[in-house]
C-alpha cells in the first residue's frame, strides 16, 4: 500500500545514518553530530564504508566549490535530508550559510526535530542568543535554519514550504538530492527538478544516486530498491551517467555533468585516498568496483557563476 511503501522509504534514512555512523567511528571522516541521530550502528563491510566515504567526500568537495564561488550569502536546500548533519558541520566551519532549508517526509522531520530539541549540542547551533526556535506541527523554524515536513512528490506543498522557509530566487542556491530522487515517481522527480531550475537562476544541484542498472548487478540493486518502496526506479536509473546529465539539461539546467563513482574516487586527492585505503582491508575488491560503477554524482548548474564547477576544478 501507499503507506507501507513510504514506511520502507523512510527506513532508508535509518540505514544511511547507521552506515555513516559506522564509517565515522572507523575514522573514515569526522562528524561530531551523527551519533546523536542513531544510537547504534553495526559494523558494515569495508566496501560499504569506502563507498560512503566517496559519497560524503565528493558531496563535500562540490559544496566547497559552490561556496568558493558565491560565499556564504546563499541558501542550501537539502531535499530528502534524512538525518544529514551538514548544517552543523558547516556551522562549525567558517562556512555557515545565510539560510539552510531541509525537507523530508513529516515523520522524518518530526523525529529530527525531536532529536534536535533533546540535544543541547545540536540545539545551541540553531538558536543564537536573541534568535527564537519555533517548532510547530513537526516543522522547525529558526534564524537561518528551517526543517520542514513535506512530500517531495507534491509540488504545491514543496513550493509552500520553501516560501515559508524564506527561499528566494534572489540568492544563489545549492540544492542537494542525495539518494532521494530515486524514490520519487519519474514524473514527480521531473516536475520537482524543473520547478527548482526555474525558481533558482543562480544555482547548483548535486544529485547522488544509482545509475547503470541495466546489467546483472544492476538487476540486483533494482530488486533491492523495489523492496524498499522504490517500484519505479527502472526508467532513468538504468541509464549511464551521461544520460543523467542530459536529462538535467532537458529540465532547464544550463550545464550538467555526471560521473560514476569510480571516476569520482580517482579524482579525489591522492592523500585522502591513501589514508582511507589504509583504514580497512577490502574483502571483495570486485564488490567495490561494482558498487562504484552503479552510483553516479551529477552536478547541474544555472548561472555563469557556477558554470565551471567540475570534478577537477
Angle between helices 270-277 and 46-70 (to 10 degrees): 160
Three-class secondary structure of residue 211 per DSSP: coil
Which of 46, 80 has the CB closer to ligand SAM? 80
Three-class secondary structure of residue 196 per DSSP: helix
Residue 16 as a binder of ligand SAM (CB under 6 A): the answer is yes
Rounded-to-integer distance, Cα 141 and Cα 122, Å: 14
31, 47, 104, 139: which one contacts ligand SAM (CB under 6 A)? 104
The residues pairing with 92 across neighbouring beta strands, listed in sequence order, are none
Shortest Cβ distance from residue 136 to ligand SAM (Å)? Answer: 18
Which of 10, 165 has the CB closer to ligand SAM? 10
Site string for ligand SAM, 21-60 (x = CB under 6 A): ----------------------------------------
> What is the pairing mode between strands 145-149 and 139-142?
antiparallel
Which of 151, 194 has the CB closer to ligand SAM? 151
Cell numbers for 128: 543564537
Q: Kind and range of the H or E element at 134?
A: strand 134-136
86, 116, 152, 193: which one contacts ligand SAM (CB under 6 A)? 152
25, 151, 240, 254: which one contacts ligand SAM (CB under 6 A)? 151
Q: Are 150 and 164 in contact (CB under 8 A)?
A: no
Which single residue is written with the C-alpha cell 518530526? 110
Q: Which stretch binds ligand SAM (CB under 6 A): 8-16, 91-99, 124-132, 212-220?
A: 8-16
Catalog residues that contact ligand SAM under the rule CB under 6 A: 9-10, 12-13, 16, 80-82, 84, 104-105, 108, 151-153, 178-180, 183-184
Amino acid at each position: 500500500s501507499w503507506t507501507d511503501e513510504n514506511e520502507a522509504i523512510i527506513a532508508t534514512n535509518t540505514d544511511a545514518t547507521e552506515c555513516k555512523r559506522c564509517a565515522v567511528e572507523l575514522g573514515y571522516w569526522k562528524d561530531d553530530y551523527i551519533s546523536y541521530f542513531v544510537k547504534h550502528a553495526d559494523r558494515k563491510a569495508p566496501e560499504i564504508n569506502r563507498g560512503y566515504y566517496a559519497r560524503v567526500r565528493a558531496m563535500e568537495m562540490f559544496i566547497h566549490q559552490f561556496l568558493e564561488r558565491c560565499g556564504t550569502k546563499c541558501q542550501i536546500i537539502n531535499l530528502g535530508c534524512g538525518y544529514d548533519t551538514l548544517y552543523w558541520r558547516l556551522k562549525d566551519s567558517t562556512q555557515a550559510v545565510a539560510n539552510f532549508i531541509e525537507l523530508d517526509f513529516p515523520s522524518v522531520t518530526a523525529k529530527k526535530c525531536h532529536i534536535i530539541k533533546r540535544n543541547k549540542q545540536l540545539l545551541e547551533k540553531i538558536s543564537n542568543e536573541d534568535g527564537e526556535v519555533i517548532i510547530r506541527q513537526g516543522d522547525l523554524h529558526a534564524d537561518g535554519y528551517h526543517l520542514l515536513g513535506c512530500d517531495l512528490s507534491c509540488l504545491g506543498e514543496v513550493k509552500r514550504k520553501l516560501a515559508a522557509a524564506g527561499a528566494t530566487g534572489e540568492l544563489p542556491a545549492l540544492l542537494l538530492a542525495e539518494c532521494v530522487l530515486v524514490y520519487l515517481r519519474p514524473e514527480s522527480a521531473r516536475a520537482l527538478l524543473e520547478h527548482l531550475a526555474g525558481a533558482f537562476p543562480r544555482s547548483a544541484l548535486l544529485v547522488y544516486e544509482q545509475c547503470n542498472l541495466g546489467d546483472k548487478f544492476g538487476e540486483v540493486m533494482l530488486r533491492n530498491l523495489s523492496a524498499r518502496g522504490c517500484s519505479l526506479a527502472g526508467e532513468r536509473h538504468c541509464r549511464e551517467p551521461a544520460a543523467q546529465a542530459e536529462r538535467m539539461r532537458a529540465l532547464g539546467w544550463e550545464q550538467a555533468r555526471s560521473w560514476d563513482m569510480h571516476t569520482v574516487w580517482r579524482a579525489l586527492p591522492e592523500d585522502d585516498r591513501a589514508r582511507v585505503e589504509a583504514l580497512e582491508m577490502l574483502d571483495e575488491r570486485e564488490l567495490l568496483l561494482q558498487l562504484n560503477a552503479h552510483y553516479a554524482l551529477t552536478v547541474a548548474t544555472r548561472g555563469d557563476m557556477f558554470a565551471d564547477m567540475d570534478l577537477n576544478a
